[in-house]
Amino acid sequence: MGSETVPEERSGAERPNASPNTVPEERSGAERPNASRRAAEPAISVRGLTKTFGDFTAVDGIDFDVPRGEVFGFLGPNGSGKTTTIRMLTGTLRPRSGQATVLGEDVVRHPDRVQRRIGYMSQKFSLFEDMTVDENLKFYAGVYDLPPEKFASQREYVLNMADLVGRENELTRNLSVGWRQRLALGAATIHEPELLFLDEPTSGVDPVARRQFWDLLYDLASRGVTLFVTTHYMDEAAHCNRLAFIYRGRIIAEGSPAEIRADHMDQRIFDITTSRADPALQWLETAPGVDEAYLSGASLHAVVPADSPLSGVSLRERLAGAGFTDAGVEEVNPTIEDVFVNLVSRQR
């Protein structure tokens, strides 16, 4: 963690509504007369949030709510405003205008109250490279004033979760990216936060490690932790209960994956496989009746209007006529990636 992510106010003198060390399940309604109202309150509520750098608007009047206990995916291409949004929600960057409530607190007015109840795994993984695994965990436990017995049990949990048992004394810089990623998750959750912000946690990690990391996130979600995860891997949308898609600082789609598909995809998609993908893509990009064509995994996707007369058979015939005789064509349901590619192309 860079110093930016360390809570600026660590005294704990002014405890707000909850102890930072209380896991959601442990909260009893008896102790909290207003517990049911709090449970219904969103974990994050954002209205008109805006950030400018000079005359450039990086985040432009965004609105969204994150219900408690959900895995909320904040998706967008490079430079779209994901990190800037997270930094405003974690109280490390002041918005130019708008409101943001995090765990019931106004994060602009009281960043300190929010910071001790959240975890933040920043885009650079926020670890001290020249410290050992154990020293990193101790550092973060210190940031949150974890009592020694709590630290002992959390340390054990984190080392097991991150598969780091036996590596406690290894220098962090010597760990592979996948291990550093899990250690960073452990450091960000050492104080059992109610809400965890993860900024591109799976960036630069191989597909197997990405899959394993998502399993760790599901485990946290099943224990009641709200997760706010940014990614530019569109396939990771499928891991989320709700999504918001940010593009050039504006939210252009929001909802569950199914809602987003239903609300924003009124075109049809053909999946095309051929050994000559590059020239076939060039041909499709200018083919009459095709709105859009792009690479999708190992195949090509061609988007046509909902009322297009094209069928899989007729598109295959046209491709064969253009010299792509091995092309296989199949009409498919749009993926979230298809929806976003099309939303972005409409913004241009």
Ligand X SMILES: Nc1ncnc2c1ncn2[C@@H]1O[C@H](COP(=O)(O)OP(=O)(O)OP(=O)(O)O)[C@@H](O)[C@H]1O
Site for ligand X contains 81 (CB under 6 A): yes
Q: What's phi and psi for 125, nearest 5 deg?
A: 75, -10
Residue 53, contacted partner among Mg ion, ligand X, none, CB below 5-8 A by kind: ligand X
3-state secondary structure of 284: helix
User: Could you tell me the smallest distance in angstroms from the CB atom of residue 64 to Mg ion?
Assistant: 17
DSSP structure string for 146-209: --HHHHHHHHHHHHHHTT-TT-TTSBGGGS-HHHHHHHHHHHHTTT--SEEEEESTTTT--HHH
Q: Reduce the DSSP state of residue 105 to 3 states and report it.
A: strand
Using the rule CB under 6 A, is 79 a contact of ligand X? yes
Task: Decide whether 82 or 239 has the Cβ nearer to Mg ion.
Answer: 82
Q: Which positions from 35 to 74 touch ligand X by CB under 6 A, shown as an x/- string?
A: ------------------x----x----------------
Smallest distance from ligand X to CB 90, Å: 13
204 binds ligand X (CB under 6 A): no
Query: Exactly one of 83, 189, 202, 226 binds ligand X (CB under 6 A); which one?
Result: 83
What is the C-alpha separation between 119 and 227, in angstroms, rounded? 10
Amino acid letter, residue 296: S
Q: Which of 331, 264, 270, 345 is nearest to 302 (CA)?
A: 270
State yes or no: residue 251 binds ligand X (CB under 6 A): no
The reply on whether position 83 binds Mg ion by CB under 5 A is yes
127 binds, options ligand X, Mg ion, none, Cβ within 5 to 8 A by partner type: none
**Rounded Cα–Cα distance for residues 247 and 78 (Å):** 9
Q: Per-residue DSSP letters for 49-80?
A: EEEEETTEEEEEEEEEEE-TT-EEEEE--TTS
| Cβ within 8 Å of residue 221, ≥6 positions away | 69, 70, 71, 227
- 95 binds ligand X, rule: CB under 6 A: no
136 binds Mg ion (CB under 5 A): no
Question: Cβ closer to Mg ion: 5 or 83?
Answer: 83
Which residue's CB atom is positioned nearest to Mg ion? Answer: 83
Residues that bind Mg ion (CB under 5 A): 82-83, 123
Residues that bind ligand X (CB under 6 A): 53, 58, 76, 78-84, 123, 232
